[in-house]
């Protein structure tokens, strides 16, 4: 993943995967969530998805979800650190949106 460490910006894939695991979700469910919620604009291949999952797990932004039923599919859920990163990205994106709106509407310098 090519997240911008210095600027704090997350890739779209990273952000979408984090959003998809606010509730426990498995790989195929994550793919479906992202495709549905982006109206088909973003369709992740298995390699991209599992690369992102592994990177996020390594950063401890998501963890495997252990349920008491012991489902067959491995599910993941966002951690408090992951939620913090998602909130930071939402704030950053809001600032970019505000700047863009100001410039496009001609309200800038």
The strand ranges marked E within the chain are 25-26, 62-65, 75-78
Residue 68 structure tokens: 């008491």
Q: What is the pTM of this model?
A: 0.86
Separation CA 18–CA 53 (nearest Å): 9
pLDDT tens digit at each of 109 positions of the chain = 555 556 679 999 999 999 999 999 999 999 999 999 999 999 999 999 999 999 999 999 999 998 656 666 799 999 999 999 999 999 999 999 999 999 999 865 5
Rg (CA), the chain: 16
CATH number of 12-104: 1.10.10.10
């Amino acid at each position: 993943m090519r997240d911008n460490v210095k600027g704090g910006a997350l890739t779209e894939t990273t952000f979408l995967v984090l959003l998809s695991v606010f509730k426990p979700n498995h790989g195929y469910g994550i793919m479906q969530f992202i495709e549905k919620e982006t109206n088909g604009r973003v369709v992740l291949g298995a390699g991209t998805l599992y690369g992102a999952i592994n990177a996020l797990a390594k950063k401890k932004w998501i963890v495997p979800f252990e349920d008491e039923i012991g489902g067959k599919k491995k599910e993941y859920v966002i951690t408090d650190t992951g939620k913090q990163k998602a909130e930071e990205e939402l704030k950053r994106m809001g600032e970019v949106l505000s700047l863009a709106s100001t410039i496009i509407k001609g309200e800038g310098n």
